Amino acid sequence: MVHSGAMFDGLAVALITPFRNGAVDRQALERIAANVVEGGARALYPCGCTGEATSLTREERETVIRAVLAVAKERAAVVAGTGTAVTSETIELTEDAIRLGVDAVMVITPYSCKPTQEGLIAHYRAVADRVDRPVVLYNVPARTGVSLAPETVARLAEHPRIAAIKEASGSLDQASAIRARCDIAILAGDDSLYLPLLAVGARGVVSVAGHLVPGDIAAMGEHAKAGRFAEAESIHRKLGPLFRALFLETNPAPVKHALRRLGLATGELRLPLVPVRPETAALVDQALERAGVVATARSGR
C-alpha cells in the first residue's frame, strides 16, 4: 500500500481502457501503465471517465484493476474509479475495488439524477462509511450536470476517510474557495490548469496528457513546488497545444488516437464514443510533434 500522504502529490494519470476487438486489451493496458509509472507518475487512476468506466461490466472493471495493480506494485498508488449514478451500486463497486487491493477510490458525483447538495453529502458519506481507504471526490460538472459547492466539499472533508478532490470544474475560483474552507487535498482535473492550480494550493494533477508526456508533467510540478516558476512555465507553454488538442473532442477519443499513432493501443472506443474526425486527428498529430512525443517514440526511448 502507498502512503495516502504521497499518493496525492505530483503526477497521477487517468488511464484509458484499451480495447481490442471489443474486449479489454490487458497487455496494452499493462504496457501503458508501466510507461507512465516509469515516466514519474505517483498514482494510476483506472476506471474513470478517461477509462470509459460507464461502458465496463463489473467483471471488466475487475480485469482492469487487477492489471493496473500488477504493474503498480509498490511503485505507484492505484486509485480506482467506483462512482455511478446509484449509491448502492457505487458502494458495491467500491467494495470490489478495495477487496482487490487498491490504495484509494475515486467517486464521481452521481450523474443524470442531479442530486441536491444535501443529496451529494448523503451519497458520499454513505460510501465513505463503508470503506477503510481514502476516498477522492470527483467534481466534473460538464459530464454530470451537478457541481460540488465549496461549502459541501468542506463538510465532506470532515469525514475521516474523505481525503482529496479531483477538481475538474475548470474554475480557479472554485479551487480557491475550497482551499479557503478546508485542507482537503486538491487535484487538478485539467492538464491545462495544473500549473495555475498549484499556485492556489493544489497538490497534484490527475492527467490525461500524462499518457504521452509523463516526464514533462512530473517535472513541471516539481519545478513549481521548488519555486522554479520560469522552468515550470516553459514546460506549460510547450505542452499547451497538446493539452488543448486532447480535448478538441470528447475525452478519451483524442488520447486514444495519439496512443494508436504511437503504437501503444488500437485506439478502439465503445459506442456512443467514436474515433476523432480527420481534422482533429491532424491537430493531435501536430501537437504530438510539437511536444516531441513522436520523435521520442520513434527513437525507442
10-residue stretch averages of pLDDT, the chain, 301 residues long: 72 98 98 97 98 98 98 96 98 98 98 96 98 97 96 98 97 97 97 97 98 98 97 98 98 98 96 98 97 59 33
pLDDT for 5 equals 59
Whether this prediction's pTM lies above 0.85 is answered by: yes
Query: Quick check: is 166 catalytic?
Result: yes
User: End-to-end distance of the chain based on CA atoms, in angstroms?
Assistant: 29
pLDDT for 172 equals 96
pLDDT for 131 equals 94
Domain boundaries defined on the chain: 4-226
pLDDT for 278 equals 98
Which of 124, 138, 194, 256 is catalytic? The answer is 138
Query: Quick check: is 138 catalytic?
Result: yes
Which of 45, 124, 166, 256 is catalytic? The answer is 166
> HEC states along the chain?
CCCHHHHCCEEEEECCCCEECCEECHHHHHHHHHHHHHCCCCEEECCCCCCCHHHCCHHHHHHHHHHHHHHHCCCCEEEEECCCCCHHHHHHHHHHHHHHCCCEEEEECCCCCCCCHHHHHHHHHHHHCCCCCCEEEEECHHHHCCCCCHHHHHHHCCCCCEEEEEECCCCHHHHHHHHHHCCCEEEECCHHHHHHHHHCCCCEEEECHHHCCHHHHHHHHHHHHCCCHHHHHHHHHHHHHHHHHCCCCCCCHHHHHHHHHCCCCCCCCCCCCCCCCHHHHHHHHHHHHHCCHHHHHHHCC
Candidates 64, 31, 52; CA nearest to 253 is: 52
Give the class (CATH, top level) of 4-226.
Answer: alpha beta
Residues 6 or more apart whose CB falls under 8 angstroms from that of 73 comprise none
